Each structure stands twice: as C-alpha cells, then as structure tokens.
Amino acid sequence: MMMLLFSPDSTSTMTTSSENPYLRDAVMTATSEQLQLMLYDGAIRYARQARDAIINKNFEQSYDLLTRAQNVIAEMQAGLRPKVNEELCARVSSIYDFLYHKLVDANIHRDIGAIDDALRVLAIERETWQLVVDKVSKAMTTKTDDDVPVVSPETDSESEHVGFSVEC
C-alpha cells in the first residue's frame, strides 16, 4: 500500500534563510520525499559538527548544533500523519523520540557516545529514506499519475488517484 506519512504542508517552525537562495530554491522545488531526505541530512550534519565541537571543547557551538539537530528531529516528528497509518507512525515516532532524547542527553552531558548512537540510527533511517526516494523516482518515471492506483486505508479498495504517495 502506498501512503505518505509525512505532511509536506504541515506548519513548519523551521525556515530557510534568504541569505542562501540555492537552499531556498532547492527546498521550494523539492518533493515531500526529497524534503524528508534533506531533514535527515541536516540532522546528521548538525550532529557530526556538534560531535567535533565537543571534541574541540567548543561547548557553546556544540550546544547550538545539538539544539539544531533536536529541532530537525522535532520537525520530522511534527510532520507525521497518524491518520494515514497510525501503527507505522507510532513506530516512526518512537525512533524520533529515541533520537531526540539521545541528542538532549548529548547536549546536557556533552556525551559523544550519545551522539554516536543517534548518528548510527540517523544513518540507517537516511539510507532507508533514500531507498524510498529512489523507488518513488523510479515509479514516477515509469508510470503516469493515472496509472498508479491508491488503496484506501479504510476500505482497501482502489480509489481515484489524487497524488503519488510513499510505500510504508
């Protein structure tokens, strides 16, 4: 069954900087699947930079970077759509909870091990999401929107196609 679990139009607290027009254009033209991948990339980048900052004893910078990574995870959590698939969203939410708490622990205790734990999970989640993006891209190039049926989660019957969604 193909369903999008992440709301591309959810109210966002994160903003793109007008100082980086390339990033702004990339975000504005990205699909919801690509946006999710960008969020994973951002969380990984901030966590890695925070890890380096802790090693270099730059604790103010590590605090700022870990807070950014926490905000990315919170944004991904806020974008979940439980009405689409409650069970799967609960599982994904548990992963986000784990990541968020690891990043908070890392921030409070300056714990590189907690960052490493979060980075391992983020890497797996990013890789999984990349597979989803690749699958969606492939499906979009081989089929038109009219060729892709959508199965209603309530009835398991085919309904009129209103947009492509991600298999969960």
Is 93 part of any domain?
Answer: yes
Q: How far apart are CA 143 and CA 23, in angstroms?
A: 29
pLDDT tens digits for 137-146? 888 888 655 5
Is 99 part of any domain?
Answer: yes
Residue 164: what residue type?
F
Q: Are 168 and 3 within 8 A, CB to CB? A: yes
CATH number at residue 112: 1.20.120.340
pLDDT in tens, the chain (168 residues): 334 444 444 434 444 455 788 777 777 877 888 899 999 999 999 999 999 999 999 999 999 999 999 999 999 999 999 999 999 999 999 999 999 999 999 999 999 999 999 999 999 999 999 998 899 888 888 865 555 544 434 434 333 333 334 434
- In this structure, the dihedral spanned by the alpha carbons of residues 66, 72, 75 and 81, taken in order and rounded to 10 degrees, is -120
- Domain with 89, as residue range(s), is 31-143
In order of 7, 37, 93, the CA distances from 124 in angstroms are 21, 12, 15
How many domains, the chain?
1
Ramachandran area for residue 151 (φ above 0: left; ψ -120 to 50: alpha; else beta): beta
Q: How far apart are CA 43 and CA 81, in angstroms?
A: 20
